[in-house]
Structure 1
């Protein structure tokens, strides 16, 4: 199996890398953290103009028919630069669901996403749901206009800025039943919606969202009634590939900055990079980065080739994101000493981002069990 990038993918990687290097820094990250959106709207428009938002969508829908590995190439560079724009949520996650909609729905919603005119969020997690995608208590009851949604979603990434929400709700069955779950597109400004935004551990923003008799039409449902669980499961698995790519980019930066720092920091009259014990720790950091890279590429290939083990490969990747991300970030902080904890240095920002990426869509323990079950 060839785990190397094609010439086109290498060109994409270089192009995104140059953009990130020119437009992102730790200082920029701290500035955006204090804004209402938490990201730069002008950069999002540039993403659209450069075609990055259109990359994974079919050509008949206005996209470029890119692969999962193409998206991973972009996300890896975004991870290097602590890019705050919600590419993961809009393109890798919500885009997967919209791409599976019928032709009329795709024509209505995809152009706005591809052109950077609309923001999206996936509201699926609930207060007592943990990481169980079937634990859905939000109800969608039949009404004169279609359906009426009632309940609460929590930890909705990009929920504070979204123009549209993709909402998993129960049209039949009991809580935790995989059957009976439906997926709806809901305008975020619809009557009956209450959004409470707050900062997450890495400084990005999320929201809790309450639905109080929110009316949606039957045409707002993606797929067949009560049959959305497999789509949700597959969409989360695809988003995990983007999470793994972003984590890899962040870990590569932590390793490079740690190696460079140990060459300049001196103890006992010599750089601490000369100490064999520290060399071993950095070698272990490197091995974790390369192991994650291999798992990422395999998981992307498994999805692009629609292999039977694509969900299992995504779970294996997520386990490595948590374990390797924790080890690499902790070693980076420890080898930098006290300065590694400061807000002025990038180490702490990468540490917090990796902490969040571990918890997204299920932590290591959750995905170990999923891997075993598979």
Structure 2
């Protein structure tokens, strides 16, 4: 398949660009940060997102969505990356919608997916428990109790967890940490007895949460997928999330490149624009090449998720690893070429550096995915 967008995908890109650039420039994030907004994103803007159909991109048409694919979700995520727009699109429209669509029962889909599509329900995926992304190390205990399970443990870096109306929780119902068998996914109401949620504003002014579970009762109807065999579903959902975050980093890196080139044309030293200095031209050219190669790798991963989902892991790992290193290079070069002022809060470039750092860690950094790829290839 050609590594270009179709006409319909290009129209979606233009539609997303118009809304996001107009309603959520970087100044929108700055305003939310400075006001110490309790939600961390604009619910009014999320409503507009839903009205334009973005919240239901990955929701099947039978449940009020558009029934589109990962490429389309990546198109929107790339535009989000360009303005650093804080929104529950990743947590709700990408991760939760994918988990319910792929693993939910008919009753679960009918209950939750229409609400995700119309923007009335926010959800979050609770997987990681430590400082790094290690889904197989899940140790939150899910012990059988009556007609269901009792959950005990804690989750960290739950993206948008403090505003979620629904938590999708990975728990260990059998086996030991590090084993694939024994993982089960649960649909949990964050307002039930025994759950404590602590909002953690990240360095990039986006939202996450720590969630603790103290003898939380969950009945069998709230199991998502198969008991003890949830790893395959979880890994598939994580791969969709990884592709989405990689797309966001492409948009972020490309925006930093554009801003930096414009600065090189405007900033003068020794009576001429610094963009005329060959050393800076070479660095800018190299960054452009890296961004374009990464864009192709990410689009390939998204196309593979849509066309050959079961075998998309390697392509996703390549995309996420490369997007992480490219975004890191972009923000480092951007800050350096802006000079000392690049480190000040007055310039937006620092916001991009902080967001790149968080995106690098989300769902596995470059080292994690290089290791995943090596293991898959038998090294």
Instruction: Tell me, in whole angstroms, the C-alpha distance in 2 between the residues paired with 1:26 and 1:58.
Output: 32
1:108 matched to 2:111: yes
Q: Which of 232, 235, 251 in structure 1 is aligned with 2:234? A: 232
Counterparts of 1:162-173 in structure 2, within 5 Å, are 162-173=164-175
Q: Is the 8 A contact 1:26 1:344 kept in 2?
A: no
1:122 aligns with 2:119: no
Structure 1 partner of 2:10 = 10
1: CA distance, partners of 2:236 / 2:351: 30
Give 1:256 shift.
Answer: 0.7
Q: Do the aligned residues in 1 keep the contact of 2:26 with 2:85 (CA within 8 Å)?
A: no
Q: 2-side partners of 1:232 and 1:103: how far apart?
A: 19
Range with greater deviation from structure 2 (31-40 or 142-151) = 142-151
Matches of residues 87-98 of structure 1 in structure 2 within 5 Å? 87-98=89-100
**In structure 1, which of residues 333, 338, 346 is the aligned counterpart of residue 348 of structure 2?**
346
Q: What SS class does the counterpart of residue 184 from structure 2 fall into? A: strand
Cα deviation, residue 307, structure 1: 5.6
- 1:32 is matched with 32
Q: Supply the distance in 1 between the matched residues of 2:332 and 2:176 (Cα, whole angstroms).
A: 42
- CA contact under 8 A between 1:145 and 1:215: conserved in structure 2? no
Q: What is the SS of the residue equivalent to 1:277?
A: helix
Q: In angstroms, what is the RMSD of aligned CA positions?
A: 1.2
Matched-pair contact (CA < 8 Å) for 1:202–1:352: yes
Structure 2 CA distance for aligned equivalents of residues 136 and 82 of structure 1: 30
Taking structure 1 as the reference length, the TM-score comes to 0.97
How far off is 1:247 after superposition? 0.7
Find the aligned partners of 1:308 and 1:300 in 2 and give their Cα distance: 13
Residue 326 of structure 1 deviates from its aligned partner by 0.9
SS class of match (2:139): coil
> Gaps (5+ residues) in structure 2?
none
| 1:168 Cα deviation after fit | 0.5
Q: How many residue pairs end up in the alignment?
A: 373
Residue 175 of structure 1 corresponds to: 177
Question: What is the distance in 1 between the residues matched to 2:303 and 2:40?
Answer: 33
The structural deviation recorded for 1:4 is 1.1
How far residue 217 of structure 1 moved from its aligned partner, in angstroms, is 1.1
- Answering whether residue 197 of structure 2 is matched by residue 195 of structure 1, we say yes
Shift >3 Å, 4+ stretches: none
Q: Which of these residues, 45, 54, 57, is aligned with residue 55 of structure 1?
A: 57
Return the match for 1:74 from 69, 73, 76: 76
Q: Which runs of 5+ in 1 are unaligned?
A: none
The DSSP-based 3-state class of the residue aligned with 1:231 is helix
Offset of residue 232 of structure 1? 0.8
How far 1:373 sits from its partner (Å)? 1.1
- Alignment match, 2:315: 313
Q: Determine which of 308, 333, 336 is the counterpart of 2:335.
A: 333
For residue 321 of structure 1, report the CA deviation from its aligned partner: 1.4
SS of equivalent to 1:157: coil
| Structure 1 match to 2:246 | 244
Q: Report the TM-score when normalising by structure 2.
A: 0.96
Distance, in Å, in 2 between the alignment partners of 1:141 and 1:115 is 35
2-side partners of 1:125 and 1:239: how far apart?
Answer: 14
